[in-house]
Structure 1
Amino acid sequence: MSSFNLRMLLLLALGHLVTDIYQGALSTILPFLKEKLSLSYTMAGAILMTSSITSSVIQPVFGIISDKKGKAFLLPLGAFCAGIGFSLLAWSPSYPIVLCLVLVSGLGVAAYHPEGYKTATFFTGEQKATGMSIFTVGGNLGFALGPILTLLVIQYFGLDWLPVMAIPAVLFVILILSVWRIISDHHEAHAALNRAPAAPVPGARTGLALVIATVVMRSWTQFGLMSYIPFYYIDYLKGNPVHAGTMVSIFLLGGVVGTLSGSPLADKWGHKKVLMLSLGLTSLIFPLIFYADGPALFGVFALLGMTLIASFTVTIVMAQRLLPNNLGVASGLTVGFAIGTGGIGVTILGVIADAYGVPAALKFIGILPVAGFLMSLTVPYPSEKR
């Protein structure tokens, strides 16, 4: 087994950060695209649905390819496509062009994640949870920084300058190519050491299905909040659009804190217990959205991000433990398919918002973590000795 390599984990986490900058920023520019192209809430939701399908739902396909034979080139290619597709959205003259660019960006995201999670395991040594949390936090930071960077560009230079957002992707491609031999060597070593499959885990299929269903509820909640925080704050609370983007970033930065704290707690208390705690606390905090105002509302969203996303790495580790012979597929199912399927639910939220208003859509979102919590109670999972 290879030793813990912080330098390589940080590089892969940087790629995760760069890729998720574009995924996290998409919901932030929706109000601007909606105004520019005169889109309805349903059409705006369809943009996110396209992103979810291409960036997440099809990730298991890339995971299958990765498990059969490593495709390390997907790391630089994925990051580059994610950046180019997003950055050109500002120049889109029509709704179909927007969808096409979102598709290109989404495929780039889908290509990077399964290969990224699999490659990250090569550099964790025996400290699997710690190593995976480092890689995961890169994505959390990307989601959080995306709205901030995008809004800074729009605020100071205008929407037409959005293509400068492609710079991080280009820089990452240069960096990862500079250490390509190290990545290739670890891929070859992993293939040589893992020719004999591990014994299957009893009840793995049922457990994996319930973990995936729980992640769907969690991601539907996350993407729903990311999409409708700006609309709720701008259209109903009459807040500053820039502050709305900041609120999304605070929510996601809370998720970074949750990810870093959730992993060691899971190592100490057990993966399943932390998953239940995460969704249970989220269910209790969520109603405060409708009672808090001003700075308190920012605090509520920070807490929601921390509790909701605390189980992100935990569910990935649970899936990989249930499916030890298919790390790429396990990552693709939990990070891609389950999260993407939850993201598709944003389209349903758009229909609710058009028919009954944004507050009604937010109230519907509040039901989702409760459903996820109830599902987490029934997950069959191998015993964890602490």
Structure 2
Amino acid sequence: MSDSIDRRGMGALSGGHLATDFASGAVPAMLPFFAAKFDLNYTLTAVLMLAALASSSLTQPLFGLWSDKRGALWLLPAGIGLAGVGIGLAAVAPSYGLLVILVFLSGLGIAAFHPEGAKFAVFASGRKRASGMSLFNIGGNTGYALGPIIVTPLVLWLGLGPGGLLASIPVVLGAAAVLLALPYLSRLRPEARSPGVAVSGTDDVRAVLILGGVIGFRSVAWFGLLTFVPLWVVSLGNSEADGNRMLSLMLVAGAVGTLTLGPIADRFGLRRTLLVAQAILTPMILVFVLVGGVVGALALMLVGICVVGTFGLTMVLSQMYLPEHVGMASGLSIGLAMGLGGIAAVALGGIADAIDLETALVCCAFAPLAGVVLCFFLPSPAVASPVATAPASAYPLLD
């Protein structure tokens, strides 16, 4: 295993992650425009978010299992391409039902990319897994943050249909770039560098379940904010553009958090950093909702740092807890546990319709407290070691 990060391979993987999550970040940015076009209430708006999360998150463990058993490097460009085409066509969907289907298909593309991408990011990281995963995630977090920053002005300028179609073009171009990089990426497999790499450590299913609970409770708050922050700002008498600017502020802060919390975790420990970040969420969300203004905006930025900045930490922990199934670990940490937050977002939409949006946001603020309790039960992971991989024959470029 190399002592240094393969910069070329990581650049391709992080760039692909950026393109994929740009499509993902476009969904919450377009929610106010979809709501206006189809006259949606809070619950139906949250169903759109659920459709995106059910496909992009809940199916990721299945793609992770495929990755572990056979390998499927072709899923990287194919997933990015499907994500871009799906979100572009969703912008011109003539009916709500078709809109839900297209958002769901776009999410499948996102799900296809992540487990294989995360596993090859481990290969490219060498022994610096935490630093390498931070570089991989900064691409995704930046892409997610750029979604509302780019999509909102395009839609306001050109309209929902043309603006959404134009925004999908960079994603499709990203798929083409990753396709061209596949021959180089295929050489990052451990078999290609050091035949006979063995797996050190055994899977700790109990630890993964506890970690999944932490991620799930964190995701309830996160996806509640992704869904309702723009609508909350609009409900206070501001414009849709103002709502998406607030969302962008949270996401950009999260991208910065990816780079800052990684070194902190290296110094103070993965579990300790995760615990502190999780504990900060509830008071900061309450400040955003109940205080508002500049103070509320700063609190929301801190929320973004604490949530997005710990994505890489939980991914590395899950891979350490499941050293024999790294693809599955990635699918679980990125996908299944986070997808539970999308289901909760629909429930929060029901609360918003039955009572009001402020009550729904206050409810989502308290979810991370349960995750704080679970953090105390996380065991210490084994020392990072070479990961298990599918046989080399399972990685034809376009099999």
Name the TM tier (shorter chain).
Answer: over 0.9
2:308 corresponding residue in structure 1: 309
The two structures have a TM-score, normalised by structure 1, of: 0.95
Supply the distance in 2 between the matched residues of 1:148 and 1:295 (Cα, whole angstroms).
Answer: 20
| Alignment partners' CA distance in 1, 2:69 and 2:276 | 36
Give the equivalent residue in structure 2 for 1:48. Answer: 49
Aligned-residue offset at 1:37: 1.1
Following the alignment from structure 2 to structure 1, what is the Cα–Cα distance between the partners of residues 177 and 114? 18
* Equivalent-residue separation in structure 2 for 1:60 and 1:114 (angstroms): 8
Query: After the TM superposition, which residues 34-183 of structure 1 pair with which residues of structure 2 at under 5 Å, given as runs?
Result: 34-161=35-162, 162-183=164-185
Q: Is the 8 A contact 2:287 2:295 kept in 1?
A: no
Instruction: Please name the residue that 1:206 is paired with.
Output: 206
| Segment of structure 1 superposing worse, 252-261 or 355-364 | 252-261
Deviation of 1:191 (Å): 9.7
TM-score by length of 2: 0.92
* 1:207/1:381 contact within 8 Å kept: no
Conserved in 2, the CA contact under 8 Å of 1:89 and 1:98? Answer: yes
Give the share of equivalent positions with the same residue, in percent: 35
- Go from structure 1 to structure 2 and tell me whether the alpha carbon gap of 1:194 and 1:246 turns closer, same or farther (over 3 Å shift): farther
The code of the aligned residue for 2:62 comes to: V
Residue of structure 1 equivalent to 2:394: none
Q: Structure 1 residues 289, 71: CA separation in 2 closer, same or farther (over 3 Å shift)?
A: same
Whether 1:189 and 2:191 are equivalent positions in the alignment is yes
After superposition, the Cα gap between the structure-2 partners of 1:384 and 1:266, relative to the gap in structure 1 and judged at 3 Å, is farther
Change beyond 3 A, Cα 1:71–1:293: same
Task: Measure how far apart 1:381 and its partner are.
Answer: 2.4
C-alpha distance in 2, partners of 1:58/1:373? 26
| 2:321–2:382 Cα contact (<8 Å) kept | no
Q: Cα distance 1:47–1:191, how it changes in 2: closer, same or farther (>3 A)?
A: farther
Corresponding residue SS for 1:88: helix
Cross-structure match for 2:389: none
Code of the aligned partner of 1:262: L
Residues 194/356 of structure 1: CA separation in 2 closer, same or farther (3 Å cut): farther
Deviation digits for residues 318-361 of structure 1 (CA, Å, limit 9, x no counterpart): 11111111110000000011111122211101100110110010
Note if 1:322 corresponds to 2:321: yes
Distance 1:341 1:191, change over 3 A: farther
User: How far apart, in 2, do the equivalents of 1:297 and 1:180 lie?
Assistant: 44
The corresponding residue for 1:277 is 276
Instruction: Please identify, of 327-336 and 17-26, the stretch whose mean Cα deviation from structure 2 is larger.
Output: 17-26
Residue of structure 2 equivalent to 1:297: 296
1:167 CA drift (Å): 1.2
What secondary structure, in the 3-state scheme, does the structure 2 residue paired with 1:379 have? coil
Q: State how far apart, in whole Å, the 2-side matches of 1:300 and 1:193 are.
A: 49
Q: Return the alpha-carbon distance in structure 1 between the equivalents of residues 322 and 274 of structure 2.
A: 18
Aligned 8 A contact 1:292 1:300 in 2: no
- Structure 1 residue runs of 5 or longer lacking an equivalent are none
Paired with 2:25 and 2:132, the residues of 1 have a C-alpha distance of: 23
Question: In the alignment, is the contact (CA less than 8 A) between 2:288 and 2:297 conserved in 1?
Answer: no
- Structure-2 separation of matches of 1:209 and 1:190: 33
* 5+ residue gaps, structure 2: 385-399
Displacement of 1:192: 7.1
Question: Would you say the 8 A contact 1:4–1:123 is kept in 2?
Answer: yes
Deviations along 1:83-132, one digit per CA (max 9) or x if unpaired, are 11111112111111011101110100000000110111111111111111
Q: Is the 8 A contact 1:278 1:309 kept in 2?
A: no
Which residue does 2:346 correspond to in 1? 347
Structure 1, 31-40 or 360-369: larger mean CA deviation: 31-40
Could you say which residue in structure 1 is the equivalent of 2:217?
A: 217
CA drift at 1:252: 1.0
Could you say which residue in structure 1 is the equivalent of 2:391? Answer: none
Cα offset, 1:173, TM superposition: 2.2
Q: Please provide the CA RMSD for this pair.
A: 1.8
Contact 2:190 2:197 in 1 (8 A): no
Q: CA deviation at 1:179?
A: 2.3
Structure 1 residues 197, 307: closer, same or farther in 2, change over 3 A? closer
> Quick check: 2:85–2:172 contact (8 Å CA) kept in 1?
no
Query: What secondary structure does 2:67 align onto?
Result: helix
Structure-2 change in CA distance of 1:38 and 1:284 (3 Å): closer
